[in-house]
Structures are given as C-alpha cells and as structure tokens.
Structure 1
C-alpha cells in the first residue's frame, strides 16, 4: 500500500475510533411507556465491528428516548438455524441483518414485512446501485434495505509480480491463466480461490457469467467453457492448488497473507489481514471472458419481521441507519463494506482503504435472482464444479447432470 494510502487509512481509523468511543456500547434502561424492538445480527465477528453496531444502536436510542433496541449478536455459523427456530416459534425479531442470499427464502416463508410501499416512495431508493437494489427484492417486491455490500475482485501481491517481471494485472482469461502459471513456484500457487460449499458457487458464478452463461443455461456451451477454464487452472496447469476444494474464503486469505498464493479471488473482508501483514497488494477487476468481466453482489440487508407490532418504528430505525451518511461510512470502515449508492461512491468517507474504488467497480450482478430455493441451487452448482475440479466427471457430463437438478428448482 502507498504511504499516502496508509495516511488516509490512519486518519479515518482515528476519527472512527473516536466516534465509537464517544458513543459507547452500553444500553440504557427502558424508559416508561417506551417501544422495545428486538434486533438480531451476526456482526460481532471483530471487536471493532461489534462496537460500531452497538454505537449506532445507542446513537439512535439517544436521539429517540422512547425507543429501546435489544440487540442479540449470534455467531454467523448459528444464525440461520436460530432464525429458523424463531420462525417456528413465531418470534422472528423486529429487525434482523441477514445475508442477501437468504432473503428470498425468508420472504417465501412469509415472515418478512413487504417493504415495497415504503421503499417505492423512499427518496433515496433510486440512489442505490442497480444490482444492490436488486439484491433486496424477491418476486418484484422489496423485502430489505441494503446494509453491508460486498463483492469479489482479483487481489495480487505486487512484490511477487515485480519479482516475476509482470507489470500489470491480467485482464482476460488467457492472461489470467498465463500469469498464474508464471507465478507458480515451489511452495507457492499462482492463483487461489475458495471452493468449499457455497463459496465454490459464489466464486464459480462470475466465471459462468463471464463465459456468457447463466444458471438457467447450465448444461450449455457457456457452462462447459467456464468449468473447463477453472479445471485447467487446477488440474492441467496446477497453478491453482487442489486444496481449494477444502478452502473457505478465510483459508484463502491466510494462504495469500502467508505468501503461498500470488493472486487470490476474495472480497474486502480480507483487507484488514493483508494490511496488518504489511503486504503490498492491489485489487483489480476479475479478468474478462467472452462476455466481459462480471462479479457478484453480496452482503447483508436489514429486514423487518412481518408480525412485528412496531413496524413503523422498525422502519424508522433502518431508514435512519441507511440515510445518515455518517452511519453508513462508520459501518463501511468497521464492517469492510463498500459504498452502494451513486451519491456516495466517490465519498472520501468511504475510503477506509485505497482499494475500495476497485472493489466498488465490481458491483455488477445480484445473486438472489435465483429465488427462494437458492440453497438447493447453490448445492447443485457447487456439486457440479466440485466433480470437475476433483477429476470425477468431465465438464460436459457434470453440467448436464446439474441441468437436470436445476430445472425444477428454477421453475
């Protein structure tokens, strides 16, 4: 990272630390006659993220003495199961921060408030980037408000590029393959990406889109091209290790930070570890296939429980959190989020790292378009890709089987 970039980050960090310290994380006693809202999230993955959420909750309560927000932070690995338990018991929280990929499934279970009337008349709705706005819709209705927006990019170690005489990031599939081969050496892979479970689906979808295909087209030529390209990286060139089939994004982050990967596909959540390690790294667009470059939009959205007794107040809370620019940028820094509105895309408050604009330029495609049965869709896609990467099936055979599984899920 450049010295100027480090200076900007240090200044923003100091300002944001002061803001969190000033707000504090303690909750005040419930005022007489107050409205009490339940709030669930899994945003306690780091002390700073946890404090940022607590600070914003307290800030709202301080400005609205009649409102008490009772926050419950649940480990991410347990969050979906806890939500399902709440659905079964009829105790879905008033406000929850959920993965946008889970939003269609929850909406189809009729537990989320339909926010379409509120969202449609909201003056900031058209400021959200198109794919971000799409990510909180299901069947043409709005069920969420964008919270943390994320995506993936090609991240590379500039020192390793320099040592190999490579001056620029690969821009096409052919260049990516050649660059990955050139950077592969004893004890180091040219390219790493996560290929365990849903992480494999999330990382394969951009290759599918770049090849000119989509999930509904799996079984066709584009899906075979995408599978064959990734297969070539792992099994023909061995520039991506077979271990990717066991790796999550956090595993890939570790391998990159420790110098065992020269390039990786990952998101902004990896930034703190790379900076803490002192790496000279750069984010670049995912290389383009026949149909150009494409990346996915991920992250979380605020949703409201349909049966909540205080829907107006719950909406006011998430509207306040989303509209106030200081709130959004504070979340941005501590939750490694990206600016998701056209009026903030160039805001200096969002520059918690010099590479944020490169990540933000990748916000091109929403995942939840695949509907309420996305978990099953994802499992079919990851099984297909795992069979190819594991050397069990040819690309054409695996894609054909996946098409059979996917057709009833997408119908």
Structure 2
C-alpha cells in the first residue's frame, strides 16, 4: 500500500513545544552571554541567579532521506550547546518552495532554511536570505570551496556546501533479468524498448517498465529529462550558454521518448499523481522497472523503504548513446539564515554545529550524500550502503553553471511538456512557444537589471566534466 506523506514536523526539544516561527526573546548579544547573573557590584547584596529564557529557532528542510540522522544531530545540539539555544526541525515533504513563500508573506518565516541549487538564487533575489560573509573567518574560507551562483551570489555568501548529488538510472535487476535485458539502456530508444519488455513480463503482477513522480512535473523532469539533456550536450534547464538565450529544442527527443512510453502503456498507472516517496515505495515493492533520481536513493532503500528485490544504478541514457556533456553533480549549498530572523548570531552557531567535521563526515559515510568539502572527502570512508557504487562520481560528472531565473508568463516548460506527454499535440509548436515566452521573460529581466547574461560562444559542456 502506498503511504502518502505530507508535512512531517519533528520536535527535537529539551522541554515543551515550539511555535511555528522564531519566538526568541533575546537579542544577539544577550544570547551569547552566560545564563547566570554576573558578579554583583561591590556593596550590593547578592541576588539569586536570573534564569535566562531560551532562544528558540526553527529550521525548515524539504529533505526526507536524511531526516532521522539530522534529527539526531539537532537533538545533540539542543542537548549540548552552552548558549541556551533550542532548535525545532520541520520537514516539509510537499510544496516546500510554496510554503517558504507563504511563510515570508505571513511573517512566519523559519530562522534557518535548507536551500538547494534551484532555490538559493530565487530565495536570495526575493530577500529571504541573510548574507553570512561577516561570520566567515579565514579557516572557514579555506575549508569550504566557493562556487559562484551556487553559494555566492552577486559577491555575497549565503550558504556553505555539504554534499553533492549525482543522478542515475535506478533499475530493478530482477525485472531486467526476467525481461531478458542484459544491460541498462544507453540510448533513449533502448530505454523505451526496455520499458516495453519489462511491462510485457510484469504487467500481470502489477509491474511496469518506467515511472516518474509526475505529481510535480518540475521535480520529475528535473531529475530525469534534465540530466539526459545535459549528458547529450544540451543545457538541462533549457538555457543555451553559447547564445545566452533559452532554447528547449534539446528536449524534443527526450520528451517524445517519454511520451512513447506513456502511449505504449509502459509507465506505472497513476504516475501523474505520484509523489517521489510513494514512487520509491512502489519501486521497493518491485512494481517499477526503472526511474531516474539522485544519489540519496541508497539511503532511502536502506532506511526508509527497504527494497524487497535486487536493484542497482547506472549512468543515464543519452539521446543517441554518445556522451556530449557533463552529467550534473548537483550541490554547493546546504543551510542558510533567514533575513528576517531576530536571532542571526544564534542561527549561525547552529550552522557552525551542523557544519562540524564529524557531522559532515558521518553524513557522507552513511550515504546521505557525497561530500563536496575536500577536507572531508579526503578522509571519509566510502559509504557502506548497498547500491551506492552506481552513484559514485565518475569521469563525466560535473557541475553546470546556473541558468538565469526568470518569471515567465503562462505555463512553465515542465508543465507544458507533461501536458504534451499525456494529451498529445504539436511538440514543435510547444517548443517554439516556450522559447518565445522564456526569452521574452529574459529580455524583461535584463532590461530591469535583475538578470545579467553574457553569450559564451566557446562554451563546451564536455569541459565541465570532473578532472
């Protein structure tokens, strides 16, 4: 049975429950002073120590795969910090970005926010994030690599890296064998054919060849079509860095292949309303032949949804089997401080604890993510978790530059492509319409000065690969 997950709130408190937003009564200086009263002035009778109120902070994250471990780390911070700080961790598994927008609009924003490569730029532009440059000493600057647009935006630092995520084709080895498939697909054509073969041998028992979490087309295509496009040499989010214009032409073969699997009946029924955790639950039960996702999956199948079959991960297929660009190695940011918090200094102390060597090293070794911090990755043990081998960085993994963020009128490209997959239509016209609307939005943003772009005729996606 598929278990639908909504918003999970984890209270990791020493006593009592917390409000939904920061409610600390102390200013930044007060929180760093001793809890007991200072020595009384000469000639004044000693008074009983004044008990200092706790500084209460709220941390929001959309991550589910590492929830239990991070919960224990937050609990440790609450138990051991000497500054009377107490943190509530809130895990929002659905509509995280919308929840953040609503929280800031209503004055209920958290104090610390989990940011990702697709959110740090828009969150910074909206004024949600506080620069942390004033907290960074020479040791911190030396330890953590700086990636422009990923943690440093317009010269200001908003977050430090923890881990990166690779993207791979995750497949059910038993269904592949049953269908007579000897190796993971290397081309889109092979992927479509393999999905059809798996469905043919598995449909009677409720197993299908392919699935994606299309309850959110942005999430589904962001973890699949994007990485296929990049490995095939195209900007995975529709931006051409050579011309500094949007061009979704590179998506054509990919979306046509996805639609073909839908038309063939090779996709899991009901996937249009499937979120990622229910999809994982179905895969763990052996009902999905393959899907594409991040390197967090081994931890999911070890701890969250124990897999009942043999599975593995392999590089994603490309359009024609030829690798023409780096496959995304996503990361470079983790935690940020809210620009509206009244307790920024205390929030930074919590961040310091979270970025401690032992925390980051354990995070890597438990397989929650692959460390992007050289001093950690150089000493951490290889994650001892089943399935991680297929996700370890390889030669064609690399970090693509971030595309500009624009506000487009009408349907976003993910939704437009999903609509075509389900309802059909003219894909060429859909792509032309997307190119026009996205470039119109880009021109407006450039004119306003909110976006800066520069053509790079010599841009080579092959040069993005890790050395």
Please give the TM-score of this superposition, normalised by the length of structure 2. 0.67
Residue 107 of structure 1, CA deviation: 0.9
Aligned-pair Cα RMSD in Å: 3.9
Written as runs of structure 1 = structure 2, the 5 A alignment for 1:74-89 is: 74-77=91-94, 79-89=96-106
Q: Which runs of 5+ in 1 are unaligned?
A: 1-23
Deviation string, structure 1 residues 96-143 (Cα, Å, up to 9, x no partner):
22444222222112231113465595546665596xx75334445332
Could you tell me which residue of structure 2 aligns to residue 49 of structure 1? 67
Kept in 1, the 8 Å contact 2:212–2:292? The answer is: yes
Kept in 2, the 8 Å contact 1:152–1:267? The answer is: yes
Which of residues 180, 200, 213 is equivalent to 1:185? 200
**CA spacing shift, 1:378–1:343, aligned 2, 3 Å:** farther
Could you tell me which residue of structure 1 aligns to residue 334 of structure 2? 301
Q: Which runs of 5+ in 2 are unaligned?
A: 1-10, 17-30, 36-50, 241-245, 446-467
Deviation string, structure 1 residues 336-366 (Cα, Å, up to 9, x no partner):
3333334444755561414334324276346
Structure 2 CA distance, aligned partners of 1:224 and 1:402?
12
Kept in 2, the 8 Å contact 1:148–1:299? The answer is: yes
Written as runs of structure 1 = structure 2, the 5 A alignment for 1:137-216 is: 137-147=152-162, 149-186=164-201, 187=203, 188-197=207-216, 198-202=218-222, 203-214=224-235, 215-216=238-239
Moved more, 150-159 or 84-93: 84-93
Could you tell me which residue of structure 1 aligns to residue 287 of structure 2? 260
Kept in 1, the 8 Å contact 2:161–2:331? The answer is: no
Matched, 1:250 2:270: no
Residue 402 of structure 1, CA deviation: 1.3
**CA spacing shift, 1:270–1:398, aligned 2, 3 Å:** same
Written as runs of structure 1 = structure 2, the 5 A alignment for 1:101-120 is: 101-116=118-133, 118=135
Residue 154 of structure 1, CA deviation: 0.7
Structure 1 CA distance, aligned partners of 2:331 and 2:409?
16
Structure 2 CA distance, aligned partners of 1:96 and 1:145?
12
Structure 2 CA distance, aligned partners of 1:120 and 1:173?
48
Structure 1 CA distance, aligned partners of 2:409 and 2:229?
14
Could you tell me which residue of structure 2 aligns to residue 227 of structure 1? 255
Residue 79 of structure 1, CA deviation: 4.7
Matched, 1:381 2:368: no
**CA spacing shift, 1:259–1:66, aligned 2, 3 Å:** closer
Please give the TM-score of this superposition, normalised by the length of structure 1. 0.75
Structure 2 CA distance, aligned partners of 1:123 and 1:299?
15
**CA spacing shift, 1:273–1:393, aligned 2, 3 Å:** same
Structure 2 CA distance, aligned partners of 1:322 and 1:42?
16
Secondary structure of 2:412's match? helix
Written as runs of structure 1 = structure 2, the 5 A alignment for 1:368-407 is: 369-371=403-405, 373=407, 380-407=412-439
**CA spacing shift, 1:147–1:392, aligned 2, 3 Å:** same
The structure with more helix, counted as a fraction of residues: 1
Secondary structure of 1:77's match? coil
**How many positions carry a matched residue from both structures?**
380
Greater C-alpha Rg: 2
Residue 27 of structure 1, CA deviation: 1.9
Higher RCO structure (Cα 8 Å, ≥6 apart) = 1
Could you tell me which residue of structure 1 aligns to residue 348 of structure 2? 315
Structure 2 CA distance, aligned partners of 1:33 and 1:366?
48
Structure 2 CA distance, aligned partners of 1:280 and 1:378?
43
